[in-house]
């Protein structure tokens, strides 16, 4: 009954950590496409092809349900996958919608018409591909009216995290927050729209100041996955072991994952 968790690299581990704490009885198979990270600077076709390859590998592990713990793949590839590629007996879910449901104070899966919500000025931090897709604004418009979104493409941050360079990642985060503030001086909420960014959440919060509510995805995705599995128990799948797969070098990915999560998990070749 394993569930698959996909990311371009290390970022999805923030989601994996939260879902395994929320659903301790469920085995998870993690797939990090570290050999091809970052996705955020790739074309939509490229992201589609790489994401499909990773999801197929997770299906081979018996994961009938795969969560794309990657905003870039969710924004640039998920809709096309669902419309043209995912067979009827499998499911692939993204990480965008749970976040937007939380921001717009909705119950999971509430599809009623858009309405006014409390927040009016929202800062979105995401990869260049996610920002370019405008998927966040599209999903938000289905649920809320009158929300002003200012998006900052955070070039370089995922790369620095994947290289294990926390000092560079921190400097880049501060400069991206400053750049956003020049265009939106007083956001009420900030969305960390990339699953790598919770690894830098403290730096985002510090740079934004205590008055800005920072939304990060891991716990929201965990809650919505728990809810989904209660409603669709058939998607637990047949796999039964927790595994960590990478297309990169397993020893080096194991080291970096251990550095960021501050506990050891061992990767094997995908």
| Interacting residue ranges for ligand DGL, rule: CB under 6 A | 7-9, 11, 37-40, 70-72, 127, 130, 158, 194-196
User: Which structure tokens are listed for 147?
Assistant: 């929300």
Distance separating alpha carbons of residues 4 and 240, to the nearest angstrom:
11
**Half-sphere exposure of residue 269, counting CA atoms within 13 Å on the CB side?**
1
Torsion angle in degrees (nearest 10) through CA of 74, 160, 218, 141: -40
User: Which structure tokens are listed for 149?
Assistant: 């979104």
CB of 177 or CB of 191, closer to ligand DGL: 191
Q: What is the closest distance, in whole angstroms, from the C-beta atom of residue 142 to ligand DGL in the complex?
A: 20
- C-beta of residue 187 within 8 angstroms of C-beta of residue 121: yes
Give the CA distances from residue 88 to residues 6, 14, 64, 251, in Å, rounded to whole numbers and listed in that order. 20, 29, 10, 37
CB of 8 or CB of 20, closer to ligand DGL: 8
**Half-sphere exposure of residue 134, counting CA atoms within 13 Å on the CB side?**
3
Catalytic residue among 52, 63, 70, 154: 70
Q: Which residues pair with 68 in a beta bridge?
A: 6
> 192 — phi, psi (to 5°)?
-90, 95
Annotated active-site residue 194? The verdict is yes
Q: What interhelical angle do 217-231 and 12-22 show, nearest 10?
A: 50
Q: What is the closest distance, in whole angstroms, from the C-beta atom of residue 139 to ligand DGL in the complex?
A: 15
CB of 193 or CB of 239, closer to ligand DGL: 193
Q: What is the closest distance, in whole angstroms, from the C-beta atom of residue 38 to ligand DGL in the complex?
A: 3
CB of 45 or CB of 116, closer to ligand DGL: 45
CB of 62 or CB of 129, closer to ligand DGL: 129
CB of 62 or CB of 172, closer to ligand DGL: 172
Estimate to the nearest angstrom the gap between the alpha carbon of 73 and the chain centroid: 8
Q: What is the closest distance, in whole angstroms, from the C-beta atom of residue 194 to ligand DGL in the complex?
A: 4
Question: In sequence order, which residues have a C-beta less than 8 Å from that of residue 230 and are 6 or more positions away?
Answer: none
Q: What is the closest distance, in whole angstroms, from the C-beta atom of residue 37 to ligand DGL in the complex?
A: 5
Estimate to the nearest angstrom the gap between the alpha carbon of 27 and the chain centroid: 19
Catalytic residue among 52, 63, 154, 194: 194
Q: What is the closest distance, in whole angstroms, from the C-beta atom of residue 70 to ligand DGL in the complex?
A: 4
Return the beta strands (E) in the chain as ranges: 3-7, 28-32, 65-68, 91-93, 115-116, 121-126, 144-145, 148-153, 189-192, 213-215, 243-246, 268-269
The residues annotated with a catalytic role in the active site are 70, 194
């Amino acid at each position: 009954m394993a569930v698959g968790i996909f990311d371009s690299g290390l970022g999805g581990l923030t989601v994996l950590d939260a879902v395994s704490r929320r659903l301790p009885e469920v085995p998870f198979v993690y797939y990090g496409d570290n050999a091809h990270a970052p996705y955020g600077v790739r074309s939509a076709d490229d992201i589609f092809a790489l994401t499909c390859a990773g999801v197929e590998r997770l299906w081979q592990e018996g994961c009938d349900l795969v969560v794309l713990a990657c905003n870039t793949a969710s924004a640039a590839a998920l809709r096309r996958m669902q419309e043209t590629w995912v067979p009827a007996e499998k499911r692939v879910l993204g990480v965008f919608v749970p976040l937007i449901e939380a921001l717009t104070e909705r119950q999971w899966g509430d599809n009623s018409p858009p309405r006014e919500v409390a927040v009016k000025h929202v800062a979105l931090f995401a990869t260049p591909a996610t920002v370019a897709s405008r998927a966040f604004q599209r999903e938000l418009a289905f649920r809320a009216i009158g929300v002003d979104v200012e998006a900052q493409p955070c070039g370089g941050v995922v790369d620095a995290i994947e290289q294990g360079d926390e000092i560079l990642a921190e400097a880049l985060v501060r400069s991206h927050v400053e750049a956003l503030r020049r265009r939106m001086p007083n956001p009420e909420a900030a969305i960390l729209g990339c699953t790598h960014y919770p690894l830098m959440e403290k730096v985002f919060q510090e740079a934004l100041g205590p008055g800005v509510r920072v939304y990060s995805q891991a716990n929201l995705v965990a809650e919505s996955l728990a809810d989904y599995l209660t409603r669709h128990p058939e998607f637990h799948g047949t796999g039964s072991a927790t595994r960590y797969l990478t297309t990169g070098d397993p020893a080096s990915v194991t080291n970096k994952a251990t550095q960021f999560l501050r506990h050891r998990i061992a990767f094997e070749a995908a």
